[in-house]
Every structure is written in C-alpha cells, then in structure tokens.
Structure 1
C-alpha cells in the first residue's frame, strides 16, 4: 500500500505490495512553519500505523536532520518527532533519510527544477559557492528498497549518492545539457553537512563516478 500521490509515491508504484506500507505523504516544504501542516501529517501517520495489518512500515525522512544548522527548524524537529514515534509504535519499520531528489515534475523548488527553470527563463540568481548538495535519482529509491532493503528491519538508513556536489558542478552539467548559459552571481556563502552513509547505501552506487551520476541525472531530467 502506498500513502501519498507525489513524486516519491508515484515512483513506488512498480514495487507496491501488501507486505509493505509506504508512507510517502505529508509536509514536503522544508521551510514550512505552520503547526497545522505538521499535525496533519502526524495524524495521518498515526492512523496508518494503527490500521497497519502487520506490513513493514516504510517512512521517508530527510538527510537534513544531520544538518547542525537546522536542528531547531520546525521541519527537522517534525521529522525527528515522526521518526521517534515510528520507532516506538511500529513492530516492523524502515526509515529512509533521503537527499535532494531529482525527478520529473514534483516540487518546482527542488534544486534541479529551480536551476533548470532559472536558466530556461534567463533569470538571474545567486550561487553560494561554499554550498554542497547530496543528490538522488528518484528511480533509485525503489531500486534500493528492492535490492538492498528486502531483509532490513527496524533501521534508519541515510540514502543519497555519496558525493557532495559543488553547485557549480551541477550548474555546468545543466548548462551543457540545455546548451544555454546560466545568469548568476557568486556569493562566498553556504555550508553543508557530513553524512555517515551505511554500507548498503555505499555499495548500491559502487562503480558509478560522480560525473557519471550527474550526467545520468541531467540526461534523464533536463
């Protein structure tokens, strides 16, 4: 069973089964501050856990819970609250903390969508030169769940391609694919956080070089 109708939920349709309850619904905006939005997701999650027929409960969290600069943000606190609730109230679960998703459609404010739209519309934007991003092809989620997580029970896994992309690397790759130059200014700002990736996540991407993975993303989604 799949709960949700967004980018992640749609990517799971090919692996849907009665043995798993994929919870892919709720607050997607990391800048959200309304308590009502967080409570809506929490209520939906609790109801689904209560009605769970013994299936493995799979929840999609965020790698930003590792970001020390966001420990007090309402979004991160909300995600950690839900993670704790699942751990304390679910017999079989998997919490997948994911990076910056790249896919077709979805939130226009995701990194790839934002950059693509700014370049396409010749809009100027600011690039924080110290920022780094962990990217993840939306299609890799279902592949990872079936190939590496079939027997995983009651664990929290960090999942993204394990390379910290410089924003210039990403912009250059998008420019090359679109054959169009971006209009931006550089600012000596930005930060990033280190993530401890489990062996299963590292093994999933074995043999794929950073420039190769970035080309895969631009070829598929730009």
Structure 2
C-alpha cells in the first residue's frame, strides 16, 4: 500500500506490496510554516497506522534533521515528532532519512533542478564554496527498499549516496551534460552536516564511485 502521489510515491509503484505501508504523503516543502499542513500529515499518518494495522510501515523523513542551522525549523521539528510517534506506536517500521533527491519533476527549487535551470538560462548565481550535499537518485530509494526492507527491522536509516559532493562537482556534471558553462560568483560561505551510514548503505552503493554517480545523475535527469 502506497500513501501519496508525489515523486517518492510514484517511484515505489513497482515494489508495492500488500504487506507494506509506504507513507510518502504530507509536507514536502522544507520551508513550510503553516501548522495546518503539518497537522494534516500527522492526522493522515495516524489514520493509516490504525487502518493498516499489521503492515510494516516505511516512513520517509529527512537528513535535514542533522542540520544544526535547521534545528528550530517547523519542518525538522515536525519530522522529529512523527519519527518519535512511529517508534512509540508502530510494531514494525523502517524510517528512512533521505538526502537531496534527484529525479524528473518534483520541486523545481531542489539543488539539481535549480542548477539545471540557471545554467540552461545563462543566469548568474552565487556558489557557496564550503557547501556540501548528499544526493540520492529517486530510483535508488525503491531499489534499496526492494533489496533491504524485509531485512531491516525497527531502525532509522540514513539514505543517500555516501559522499559529500561540493557544489563545483555537481556543477561540472551539469555543465558537461548541457554543454554550457555556468556563470557564478563564489563566496566563502556554506556549510554541511556529517551523518553516519550503516553497512546496508555502503554495500548498496559499493560498486559505483562518486564521479560515476554524479555523472550518471546528470546524464539521466538533464
């Protein structure tokens, strides 16, 4: 059973199962501040847990929980609250804290979509030299679940390709695919947060290198 209709929900269609409850609905905008939006997701989650009692719940959270600059944001506090509720009220679950998703469609303001649009349009943008990003191909979410979901019980997993890309590495890959040079001004700013990846993630991505992964993303989605 898949709950939701967005990018993640659509990516799960090939692994849909009567034994699983994939909760991929709710607040997707990390800048959201309206209480009503967060309450809607929480109410739907509670309803689904009750209605589909006995199914294993897969909940999609965010790596932004580790970002110290976002500890007081409505979005992060909301995700933490739902994670805690699941841990205390669901018998069988898997919580995935997901990195920066790269895929077709979705939020046009995500990093990959932003860079693609800026470079294609010959716009000048600001590059934060110290920033790093953890990326994940939307298709890898379903692939990871297909291989690991039944084996991982009541855990919280950090899900992203386990490499911290600096923005120039990402821009280089986009430039090559578009065959255009980016126009940007560098500033000595930006930050990133360290997260730990367990052996399931290391094993899942063991056969691909960081340059191969970012170039594959650019070729696939640009």
Task: Name the TM tier (shorter chain).
Answer: over 0.9
What residue number does 1:197 align with? 197
Please state how far the C-alpha of 1:67 moved relative to its aligned partner.
Answer: 1.3
**What residue ranges of structure 2 are gaps of 5+ in the alignment?**
none
1:100-115 → structure 2 map (5 Å cutoff): 100-115=100-115
Are the aligned partners of 1:11 and 1:142 in contact in 2 as well (CA < 8 Å)?
yes
Are the aligned partners of 1:148 and 1:204 in contact in 2 as well (CA < 8 Å)?
no
CA distance in 1, matches of 2:211, 2:163: 10
CA distance in 2, matches of 1:132, 1:168: 10
Deviations 1:53-83 (A, max 9, x none): 3110100000110112211111110000000
CA distance in 2, matches of 1:16, 1:190: 39
Deviations 1:133-158 (A, max 9, x none): 00000000111011122221111000
CA distance in 2, matches of 1:54, 1:66: 31
1:74-93 → structure 2 map (5 Å cutoff): 74-93=74-93
**What residue ranges of structure 1 are gaps of 5+ in the alignment?**
none
What residue number does 1:96 align with? 96
What residue number does 1:50 align with? 50
Please report the RMSD computed on the Cα atoms of aligned residues, expressed in angstroms: 0.8
Please state how far the C-alpha of 1:105 moved relative to its aligned partner.
Answer: 0.7
What residue number does 1:147 align with? 147
SS in 1 for 2:21: strand
Is 2:171 aligned against 1:171?
yes
Are the aligned partners of 1:136 and 1:160 in contact in 2 as well (CA < 8 Å)?
yes
1:22-61 → structure 2 map (5 Å cutoff): 22-61=22-61
Are the aligned partners of 1:134 and 1:160 in contact in 2 as well (CA < 8 Å)?
yes
SS in 2 for 1:78: helix
CA distance in 2, matches of 1:29, 1:203: 31
CA distance in 2, matches of 1:221, 1:49: 34
What residue number does 2:62 align with? 62
Please state how far the C-alpha of 1:120 moved relative to its aligned partner.
Answer: 1.1
TM normalised by structure 1 equals 0.98
Runs of 4+ in 1 over 2 A off after TM superposition: none
Deviations 1:151-186 (A, max 9, x none): 211110001000000001100110011001112111
CA distance in 2, matches of 1:96, 1:120: 33
SS in 2 for 1:26: coil
What residue number does 1:138 align with? 138
What residue number does 1:122 align with? 122
What residue number does 2:73 align with? 73
